[in-house]
Structure 1
């Protein structure tokens, strides 16, 4: 058979690792074209919440596809977007009054950064500095790489990245250093601080408590610095609540949502903004409009999927499923032998496997991923950090299969 022309993300094709061909998916299961099946223990890169091919979401997609597929969103609108925006403002913090659509987590963050800078410019205070948290990851576009951790992910693109101020990660017992650094950056006139609330994903599933998040937000508020919450991964129940920020009583000025917004079925993202940020761009002067869009902004089919997801949250016991999964994760993580620094944040469990290397390029990762694949489980270690982030519908037996793979490798 002729080799595939596909160039896969985060894949070194020179290693000739097998790439399974998946024919269909249902619940937590991925079914291969060759008859094999895998438990999706990482929600296909953290997106699938209720399970693959959820009937209500699939039905909404099919119904909308038969009615309208795509519409320019600059100066035009459609009912799925209007409905979704109303429903989002109804369940998110009331201060977030405006909904701007985009199509991925990276673009949601880019939008937030641009809104923050536009806010200060239009107020006549052109603050430009962005403050970020050590080990953070916000995407792979130029702006999001700039506000993420510098290293192997983006070394080749360094000439394109803009400068930011980085504050240290708030390790237990060393939080004051983080507070002091953020305080100094805010006093210096920063425009915005961007953070992944409670859980840093690609940075190694690093966890910090709600009290720290609340303290960081309070520092920003004292100095009038905009607080951007990148909840692309942490929202929709991953950390145990609808938003991670709610555990800290924090309401951001800008909120980035994607991944679970559609239940993980199709790409869609939103950036929710406070009325003050919207008002700063509101004018009879066309030069003050918010200059951002993409061809598929607020795609009707994706918006219909998101509306179905919100209906599931309203009408099904999603929070109970999340609480059950969090408890099951806690039990299995506590019983897992041979791992270091086990940690839990809502439905996400993580730990370090024994290794003489650390960091994303640790050789343990491809060996572990291959062993999991052979055992019928999709797991994808971050260096020597292994994590379990399954759809909420996973059963006790299926979760046991996942942890058996980890225990066998530890």
Structure 2
């Protein structure tokens, strides 16, 4: 296989002493990646959860090419451009009523960082001493300082502990323990928190942990009762992953602030938005320059990225994208069901287009070396699957076929025989 082992590149989330090489991919199309030597991999995790309709979706590729012919990049302070203006209008139209303003950034981490800063700025500009952020245990919101602070404390962020601020932790609302989580949230909100930050319906990097829409509804009610801002981190859950365009739709919940990224451009190029209610924008609106919202990046609202996102929204509006999502939900349900009573696994589960199950082994947690063994096993069978410790998940692009999915589940079955407990 085409593997690069002598590269100067420092790769993300990689211990190079254990994973010295990387497959060099030369081409991608649909649900498949092709290495330089022709080896193919089924992209069963959507290239880290970003690819929605499939690699190199023609409408999105064409929009990118067309935009390069007119405008590549422009400062977004004091200047604007039509792709950004049009995209903002479209996003306001398709998201829940009340999310009236759109702030552009470059990644999921920065969109959540922006959300936290918006919330703290809102309370400061209103003259109210609220600064505490609340989040669910096991959550992951990114790798900037604010988002690491809000995420679960782990090996991910242990070296940076001196930089992280304290965050209120709410127990994960596991099945049968929902009330405990709600009571803890009620108590934390009663103390005058600034914001509650949550991944709606499913926690991604925390282990694909699923909870119910009814719990999300109650969380929002508690926040409203205590005037705590409700921030929905839909970086992974947005754009169809949970079966609806946005996860909050399933609960009828309207966030005060919402974060979208990965699928915003169909996964083609980086772009993120943080959307908020009018009163949060207006709390920063003043003749005093010091009350402005101070956040930016050099590539804020890049025109090429905005053009890609507009084309992505067209795909959702003008094609059978929603039907494909529904079909994938059904196909995933059929395939995960075979493992429901399999003693080699625990908690076979599905949320929308995502499935996950836990291999019954002695190891646990993200750093469990079983994940590297499983990764190599799947790669050798032409699959891009990247387990979270012993948690194996399948999160494919919506163009995947039933036959392609079967390749992944057959390999998962074989992996259990290789690494898991006996039947």
Fold shared per TM-score above 0.5: yes
Counterpart selection for 1:395 from 392, 401, 404: 401
Q: 1:239 aligns to what? A: 242
Pair 1:99 & 2:69 matched: no
Structure 1's consecutive aligned runs of 4 or more residues displaced over 3 angstroms after TM superposition are none
Equivalent of 1:82 in 85, 109, 113: 85
Q: Secondary structure at the match of 1:15?
A: coil
Q: Which residue of 2 aligns with 1:39?
A: 42
The answer to whether residue 192 in structure 2 is matched with residue 189 in structure 1 is yes
CA deviation map 1:122-165 (0-9, x unaligned): 11112100001010000011100000000111111100100011
Aligned residue number for residue 19 of structure 1: 22
Structure 1 position 161 matched with structure 2 position 168: no
Residues 179 and 216, structure 1, Cα contact 8 Å, conserved in 2: yes
Counterpart of 1:382 in structure 2 is: 388
* Aligned residue runs from structure 1 range 312-323, under 5 A: 312-323=315-326
- Corresponding residue for 1:128? 131
Shift of 1:18: 3.3
The answer to whether the 8 Å contact 2:31/2:42 transfers is yes
1:328 paired with 2:305, answer no
**TM-score normalised per structure 2:** 0.96
Q: Structure 1: which 5+ runs fail to align?
A: none
Inter-partner Cα distance in structure 1 for 2:19 and 2:65: 37
What's the counterpart of residue 349 of structure 1? 355
Q: Identify the residue that residue 149 of structure 1 maps to in structure 2.
A: 152
Q: Is the 8 A contact 1:42 1:380 kept in 2?
A: yes
Range moving further from structure 2, 174-183 or 384-393: 174-183
The separation in 1 between residues aligned to 2:257 and 2:349, in whole angstroms, is 28
Per-residue deviation, residues 174-218 of structure 1 (Å, max 9, x unmatched)? 111111111111110000000000000000000000000000010
- TM-score after normalising by structure 1: 0.99
User: Hey, what does 1:370 align to over in structure 2?
Assistant: 376
2:58 maps to what in 1? 55
Structure 1 residue 302, shift from structure 2 partner = 0.1
| Aligned equivalents of 2:401, 2:165: Cα separation in 1 | 45
Instruction: State the secondary structure of the residue aligned to 1:162.
Output: coil
1:270 counterpart = 2:276:
no
Structure 2 residue matching 1:276: 3-state secondary structure:
helix
Cα displacement (A) at 1:354: 2.0
SS of the counterpart of 1:100?
A: strand
Secondary structure in 2 matching 1:381 = coil
- State the alpha-carbon separation in 2 of the partners of residues 176 and 74 from structure 1: 46
1:281 to 284, 288, 302: 284
Looking at structure 2, the residues matched to 18 and 374 of structure 1 have their Cα atoms a distance apart, in angstroms, of: 14
Q: Distance between the aligned counterparts of 1:126 and 1:298, measured in 2?
A: 32
Q: Distance in 1 between matches of 2:167 and 2:225?
A: 20
Other structure's SS at 2:100 match: strand
> How many Å separate the matches in 2 of 1:50 and 1:8?
26
**Deviation sequence 1:216-260 (CA, Å, 0-9, x none):** 010000010000000000010000001100101100000000000
1:175 alignment counterpart: 178
**1:116 paired residue among 108, 113, 119:** 119
> Whole-Å Cα distance in 1 between the matches of residues 274 and 324 of structure 2?
27
Structure 2 CA distance for partners of 1:379 and 1:353, relative to 1, 3 Å:
same
Write the deviation string for residues 331-357 of structure 1: whole angstroms up to 9, x where unpaired. Answer: 100113432110100000000012111
CA distance in 2, matches of 1:404, 1:339: 14
Give me the whole-angstrom Cα distance separating, in 1, the residues matched to 2:178 and 2:206. Answer: 18
Offset at residue 3 of structure 1 (A):
1.5
Q: Given the superposition, is the C-alpha separation of residues 68 and 357 from structure 1 closer, same or farther in structure 2, using an over 3 Å criterion?
A: same
1:15 is displaced (CA, Å) by 1.6
1:260 aligns with 2:263: yes
Is contact 1:117-1:126 (8 Å) kept?
no
The within-5 A match list for 1:209-248 is 209-248=212-251
In 2: Cα distance, 1:395 partner to 1:355 partner: 30
Gaps (5+ residues) in structure 2? 417-423
Alpha-carbon offset, residue 2 of structure 1? 8.1
3-state DSSP of counterpart to 1:31: strand
